Amino acid sequence: MAQRVIFHVDANSAFLSWSAAYRVKVLGEDVDLRDVPSVVAGDKESRRSIILAKSPPAKKYGIHTGEPLFQALEKCPDLKVIPPDYELYVQASRQFMAMLREFSPVVEQYSIDEAWVDMTGTQRLWGAPRLAAEQMRRRIYEELGFTVNVGISSNKLLAKMAGDFEKPNKVHTLYPEELEAKFWPLPVRELFLVGGATQRKLNRMGIYTIGDLAQADEKVLKKRLGKHGETIWHFANGRNADAVIPEPTENKGYGNSTTTAWDVVTEEEAQKVFLGLCETVGMRLRRDGKCGSCVSIRLRTSDFQQASHQMILSGATNITTQLFDAACKLFRELWDGVTPLRQLGVQVTRLSSEPYQQFDFLSGLSPQQYERKLRLDEAVDALRDKFGEDIIRRGRFAQNPEEHMAGGLSRFRRTGVTKPVPKEF
């Protein structure tokens, strides 16, 4: 049986590259954002604004994705800041994925700017894997105007790791026989699914490189880190049997979070944020015909410490007020009442396609009341779908309507409302 050939294709600094390509090719601007210190970020006046993408010259100033914009401006006062254009990014992503499907019908989109492509059996069409990858890289640049990294291997994990090697605009291979030379010397933190907390645990065990992890005792790792230890041990040894799946898998949960423009220091302020989050999460659940029986919240303090808490409901629901009541209960149990908060999030998991409830005298909710709440939510959803989010909002948001549908997604990505964008750029 022929060895599988998997590509991982990742757009370099996608948001900035797509904006730059559009401005040069469509708007006719002389300055290419990729050639000057520039970033994609939100409103300069808002504390919540973070760097979404950066140019190579901006990277030389020590600016990195995810840092607050005000810090980046301190490093480079002349930094050119452009706002995100999600309509453009969605259109660019569609063109990107369509281009990949010209090389193979088996494309699994991993995020808006990256995908795996199963190139097994395409050698007669496109030649050897590296030759095919070079053709792909050149066509994307010549026809769509941005660069990509292409990682090549026999499985998805190693292809993704290869794609993260030197950037931008490169093709790299990482086959099983190349692990010892190319993969094992890397810091263990660079392994897929190894975060900061796992890195610290591994370091305490004397494991500092991916090679150290690959050669460690699997049983010890599983005892210390549980199932996750076993998983990353297999990853360090280059083992991953996942197939490239062309169709997206069904959601396992629905969540939303927001970074506030101010420090949340009272329960009343937090409740207002949670209500806005539950509005968006509940709407998405109902739109997909899903209910959930587990609600969790996530908090991030002003000094970037994180905490989370969850509860199992007496039934599966998608009613906004029930989700909100659960979030408030969790918040009261988790928050110390003093520490300022800068980010709050809500997630609903343990999904079901049908609602179910346990009704009792203590719940204060009869079957008839439950049905009325559900019908009310569905009526509000229908109005918002037809006339826009702002057609109706709760009285709590009368003085501040902007926050009544809160969350990390832009309004465009929540509603699908677009402004005209050229088909090609």
Query: Are residue 222 and residue 293 in the same domain, yes or no?
Result: no
Q: How far is CA 246 from CA 30, 77, 148, 185, in A?
A: 39, 44, 20, 33
In a domain, 83, yes or no: no
In a domain, 358, yes or no: yes
Quickly count helices (H) and strands (E) in the chain: 15, 12
In a domain, 147, yes or no: no
In a domain, 135, yes or no: no
Residues in Cβ contact with 218 at an 8 Å cutoff, skipping those fewer than 6 apart: 229, 230, 233
Backbone φ and ψ for 10, nearest 5 degrees, come out as -130, 125
DSSP codes, 123-169 = HHHH-SHHHHHHHHHHHIIIIIS--EEEEEESSHHHHHHHHTSS-SS
Query: Are residue 380 and residue 264 in the same domain, yes or no?
Result: yes
Cis peptide before 185 (omega within 30 of 0): no
Per-residue pLDDT of the chain (425 residues; tens, 9 = 90+): 568 999 999 999 999 999 999 999 888 899 999 999 999 987 666 656 788 899 999 999 999 888 889 899 999 999 999 988 877 888 899 999 999 999 999 999 988 899 999 999 999 999 999 999 999 999 999 999 999 999 999 999 999 999 999 989 999 999 999 999 999 999 999 998 898 889 999 999 999 999 999 999 999 999 999 999 999 999 999 998 788 888 665 667 898 888 776 788 999 999 989 998 998 899 889 888 899 999 999 998 877 788 899 999 888 899 998 999 999 999 999 998 889 898 899 999 998 887 665 554 445 566 677 778 778 878 877 877 777 666 666 666 655 555 555 554 444 333 333 333 333 44
- DSSP 3-state of 209: strand
d(C-alpha 151, C-alpha 172), whole Å: 5
Query: Are residue 219 and residue 283 in the same domain, yes or no?
Result: no
Query: Are residue 368 and residue 224 in the same domain, yes or no?
Result: no
419 CB neighbour count, 10 Å cutoff: 8
Query: Are residue 403 and residue 284 in the same domain, yes or no?
Result: yes
Q: How far is CA 124 from CA 106, 129, 139, in A?
A: 16, 11, 18
Please give the tally of structural domains in the chain. Answer: 2
d(C-alpha 236, C-alpha 292), whole Å: 35
Query: Are residue 340 and residue 397 in the same domain, yes or no?
Result: yes
The residue among 145, 112, 111, 151 whose CA lies nearest residue 132 is 151
Backbone φ and ψ for 60, nearest 5 degrees, come out as -65, -20
In a domain, 226, yes or no: yes
Q: Identify the H or E element spanning 261.
A: strand 254-264
pTM confidence score? 0.65
- DSSP 3-state of 9: strand
In a domain, 384, yes or no: yes
Query: Are residue 333 and residue 194 in the same domain, yes or no?
Result: no
Query: Are residue 284 and residue 377 in the same domain, yes or no?
Result: yes
Which residue segment(s) compose the domain that 363 sits in?
254-415
CATH code for position 345: 3.30.1490.100
Question: Pairing mode, if any, of strands 114-118 and 53-54?
Answer: unpaired
Query: Are residue 288 and residue 215 in the same domain, yes or no?
Result: no
Write out the catalytic residue numbers: 114
Query: Are residue 264 and residue 358 in the same domain, yes or no?
Result: yes
Query: Are residue 336 and residue 276 in the same domain, yes or no?
Result: yes
Residue pointed to by tokens 């989109």: 109
In a domain, 223, yes or no: yes
Query: Are residue 203 and residue 302 in the same domain, yes or no?
Result: no
CATH code for position 208: 1.10.150.20
pLDDT at 364: 55
In a domain, 24, yes or no: no
